[in-house]
Amino acid sequence: MIRDFVSLGTRLAGQPDPRLRRGLVFAVFEALSTAALSVLVLIFVREALENRLTLERVWLLSGLALGTVIFRMAFARPAMSNIFVATHALMGKTRLRIADHLRRLPMGFFGSRRSGELAGILTSDVALVEDIWSHLLGIFTAGFIMPFFVGAALCVLDWRLGLAVLVTLPLAVVALAATTPLFLRHISKVLDAKSDANARIVEYAQGIAVLRAFGRQGDGYRRLTGSLERLRDALIRAEVAPAPLLSVYGFVVEMGFVSVALVGSYLMLGGTLAPATLLVFLVVAAGLTRQLSELGVALLALRAAQKALRRIDALLAEKPLAEPHKAAPAIERFDVAFENVSFAYDDGATPALANVTVTLPARTLTAVVGRSGSGKSTLAHLVARLWDVPRGGGTVRIGGVDLRDIPFEDLHRHIAMVFQDVVLFSGSVLDNIRIGKPHASREEVIRAAEAAQAHRFIDALPLGYDTQLGEGGGTLSGGERQRISIARAILKDAPIVLLDEATASVDSSAEAAIQRAIDELVKHKTVVVIAHRLRTIRRADQIVVLDAGRVIEMGTHDTLVRNDGTYAKLWREQERAKGWRLGGRISADR
């Protein structure tokens, strides 16, 4: 197990840290110095009780004891500092590695996991491993070595009493082995309950507005408190349930002291053991059994960290989207081509796209329309490679290059996305727009905001571009959030732009501003628009109509209306809907 924890640098952070091994070496020498001091004390007490001490021996033993203390202090500081620094550095890299791993996973992984659960792994599980690893690994190493050497010294002093000290260890190991499965079972429940509690807290915080709007905040609160109560109960059981068996372990270890007392007394009464030797053994055995008791607790804590470690390992074992093994050919044009693409979100599920073959020419605007569930968003997500087309399921190409042959960093430099649901992060407005181009100057950000019709409202904020936004940008309107999202995309200036009906959830006054911002964004770009309001894409160079994952029509607006197919029916439905309001239809003369 020690080997597992020492190798955590390679397993979790992806690289070792020599400071960890160096710290453990120092911890070993610290333990040896402590053991040597105990042996010197043992010799000193025995010599004193047997009246063999002389001034020279006192000076010699005192000098050796002082030397061991100095050595122990000299080793303790680098042991602690190396272990702590290496642990925190490696676990910091682990968090970054997990975050990087998450961004390479297909979107289906996130659909099956709650955000609070992932947050729990990134925070609670990693923190548990980090805390136990940094605080107990050195202690465990020292605690294992010291009893071994002190026990060996006792056996040299008197092998009979030495064996009496150690005779209970096999029983102690059995007791600890019986405690461990029960402890780990409850720790697993604690970790599961903690993940559920994290998810409930995130869900409650994000959904409080909806719960209030529907008068259901009591239900959300009850679900949250129920989850927190289950976590509380799991924590209590994890402490209480193993306690009897852990007490048995402590009792068996303490029986080593009783064994020394009984065997020593028998030998002393038989005349084969000096009283001074028995006294020395009793003093040392008391400290040794206490050290072994602490060692058992440390071992259980390390096993708890192993349990959390397995959850982290399981997350890192999730298969990411494959990266190409060789450099991709240079992309010189930015048309997007779907070649016989079929895609389903799960094995055996109904395909979201079926044998789709369509080309989206460079520097043109292609609108993708269809009823809900027809595959519109899936098509856009495949262009951004949020999912992978399975081998044998066709190919998506940019400039003639298979997306699977383009490294992620290169691909995402070529694509900007503006979706209906805008994600803003805690931080300033400036930082949120700079996500499109992290090293952009302030002037570049302002120009992008002006092009996105966002500069006026940003400038009116209390601190302008330095105004801090809460998570999700809750203080901004939907139209304002959308324009910040467009400013990001304008600042990025990618040659391919994906739009998922950016004006669908805003009012008519904001829609006009956003439409002007989009017009600025898509100049000279390859644009894919997922359209719900057909009047916004009448001027598209090409309209692709999807139904049940298949391309059923393709052409310009006028051509599709003349053909009187599915698109024409959708167009007429929306035109009729324009004349309807709550309470009935508005007459034509009004």
Q: Six-digit token pair at 290?
A: 């206490």
Q: Is the dihedral of CA 172, 177, 178, 183 positive or negative?
A: positive
> What would the DSSP string read from start to end of 128-169?
HHHHHHHHHHHHHHHHHHHHHHHHHHHHHH-HHHHHHHHTTH
Residues of the chain with CATH 3.40.50.300: 336-579
Q: Report helix angle 243-269 to 169-213, nearest 10.
A: 160
- Laid out side by side, the sheet with 550-555 consists of 415-418, 496-500, 526-530, 365-369, 542-547, 550-555
Please say if the pLDDT value at position 300 is more than 60: yes
CA distance 445 to 447: 5
Q: What is the average pLDDT across 102-116?
A: 69
CA distance 187 to 189: 5
User: Per-residue pLDDT tens for 402-412?
Assistant: 888 888 878 88
Confidence of residue 338 (pLDDT cuts 50, 70, 90): very high
Question: Which H or E run includes 497?
Answer: strand 496-500
Residue 33 three-state SS: helix
Please say if the pLDDT value at position 433 is more than 80: yes
Residues of the chain with CATH 1.20.1560.10: 2-317
pLDDT attached to residue 521: 67
Beta bridge partners of 401: 398
Q: 2-317 maps to which CATH number?
A: 1.20.1560.10
CA distance 113 to 126: 18
Q: What is the average pLDDT across 423-434?
A: 83
Q: Please indicate whether residue 48 or residue 2 has the higher confidence score (pLDDT).
A: 48
Q: What is the average pLDDT across 277-286?
A: 77
Please say if the pLDDT value at position 107 is more than 70: no
Please say if the pLDDT value at position 540 is more than 80: yes
Q: How far is CA 287 from CA 141, 143, 276, 586, in A?
A: 17, 12, 17, 92
CA-nearest of 188, 137, 227, 144 to 309 is: 188
Which stretches does DSSP call E strand in 348-476? Answer: 353-360, 365-369, 395-398, 401-402, 415-418, 427-428, 468-469
Q: Do strands 395-398 and 336-343 pair parallel, antiparallel, or not at all (unpaired)?
A: antiparallel
Confidence of residue 471 (pLDDT cuts 50, 70, 90): low
Q: What is the mean pLDDT of the chain?
A: 78
Please say if the pLDDT value at position 388 is more than 70: yes
As a whole-number percent, the residues of the chain with pLDDT over 90 amount to 2
pLDDT attached to residue 588: 40
Confidence of residue 461 (pLDDT cuts 50, 70, 90): confident
Q: What is the average pLDDT across 501-521?
A: 63
Q: What is the average pLDDT across 462-472?
A: 79
pLDDT attached to residue 113: 64
Least confident of 210-219, 306-315, 391-400: 210-219
Query: Any residues with CB less than 8 A from the CB of 447 and at least 6 apart, and which?
Result: none
Q: Is the domain 336-579 a CATH 3.40.50.300 member?
A: yes
CA distance 493 to 499: 14
Residue 531 three-state SS: coil
pLDDT attached to residue 578: 61
Q: How far is CA 356 from CA 84, 339, 340, in A?
A: 55, 7, 5
pLDDT attached to residue 584: 46
User: Per-residue pLDDT tens for 264-276?
Assistant: 888 888 888 878 7
CA distance 523 to 358: 22
pTM comes to: 0.64
Least confident of 27-41, 118-132, 213-227, 441-455: 213-227
Q: Six-digit token pair at 13?
A: 């952070």
Least confident of 24-33, 316-325, 403-412, 430-439: 316-325
pLDDT attached to residue 207: 66
Q: What is the average pLDDT across 410-428?
A: 80
Q: What is the largest CA-CA distance in the chain?
A: 124
Please say if the pLDDT value at position 260 is more than 60: yes
Q: How far is CA 261 from CA 253, 273, 280, in A?
A: 14, 12, 11
Please say if the pLDDT value at position 60 is more than 50: yes
Contact between residue 344 and residue 462 where contact means Cβ atoms under 8 Å apart = no
The Cβ-side half-sphere exposure at 281, using a 13 Å CA radius, reads: 33
- Secondary structure in 3-state letters for 426-454: CEEHHHHHHCCCCCCCHHHHHHHHHHCCC
Q: What is the average pLDDT across 163-173?
A: 78
As a whole-number percent, the residues of the chain with pLDDT over 70 amount to 84
